[in-house]
Amino acid sequence: MRLIASDLDGTIIGRDGKISPRTVRAFRSAAAAGVEIVFVTGRPPRWLTPLAEQIGHRGRVICSNGAVVYDLVSGQVLSAQALPYENILDVRDIILHLHPSATFAAETTEGFQLEPGFIQPGSVELLDGIVPQLLPDSLRRTDSVVKLLARGTDLDPDDFLAEVGPAVGHLAAVTHSAPGNPLLEMARPGINKAVTLAEYAGSLGIDARDVVAFGDMPNDIEMLQWAGAGYALASGHRRALEAAEFRAPAFKDDGVAQVIEDRLAGRQQTPRGPLATA
């Protein structure tokens, strides 16, 4: 184990935004043992405060499902893979044809743009003076859009993804990461967590077989399959559990911390058995 790559929400960060003390200790122990740590998340850079404040991580973070590499020390975007402007408008048109009530938002390297109705009542999203506008009116060709978001109404997230994915797959990479929330996340074609993680590991001279990865949702699947040891949390999405070779205990049981502790202690890890059927 030379590199640990971990997702954040639902993997090590709870709905309250907290990282457990045991998980913090596990990551610090791994770092002290010389293991490289990188966090790989769907979050944008502006939502990375818990890493700096709770774990004390000061390195690089792979954000926006692989579209952005961000340096917490300098507060700078080191690289960004943007969706072409025409693709954004075409994807929006296709989704609106399928679901006329859908609303959209765009994460850019400069900020956040959203349409009227995109933010739900009670959302934690801070608008910071942003005036909602339809994306065709607010987006400029020069905007570096690293993630396009589409929110459906009264839809199952998996059904929404299954319908939209094939329809726009030639224009964008589509996934979802919010349990029970019909919110699709779209990046430049060919971009996902695994692609950028592989590039980062390669820059350190680390092979996939020496990478341990943790995740819980469909946007983690490629990363879990690429890593030499990919762990889906027992509390995770069924597709993530089906894709990963290994299974970690549930989030509420500090599953990531348990695995890191075991690996640092040299305890043998056994690949998961088949999923139980309902």
Domains located in the chain, CATH noted: 3-80+192-264 (3.40.50.1000), 85-187 (3.30.1240.10)
Confidence of residue 126 (pLDDT cuts 50, 70, 90): low
Q: Do 276 and 44 contact (CB within 8 A), yes or no?
A: no
Residues 6+ positions from 8 with CB-CB distance below 8 Å: 39, 41, 43, 50, 51
Note whether 184 and 166 are within 8 A (CB): no
What residues pair up with 147 in beta bridges, in sequence order? 107
Q: Fill in the amino acid letter for 43.
A: R
CB atoms within 10 A of CB 12: 29
For residue 277, pLDDT over 80 is answered with no
pLDDT (tens digit per residue) in 18-76? 999 999 999 999 999 999 999 999 999 988 887 888 888 888 999 999 999 999 988 89
Q: How far apart are CA 223 and CA 262, in angstroms?
A: 21
**Which residue, chain included where needed, has tokens 């075409």?**
90
Structure tokens at 219: 């946007």
pTM above 0.85, yes or no: yes
pLDDT digits (tens, 9 = 90+) for 172-184: 999 999 988 999 9
pLDDT band of residue 270 (cuts 50, 70, 90) is confident
β partners of residue 260:
none
Rounded to the nearest 10 degrees, the angle between the axes of helix 21-32 and helix 255-264 is 30
Please give the distance of CA 215 from its chain centroid, rounded to a whole number.
9
- Our CA angle for 237, 228, 192, nearest 5°, is 55
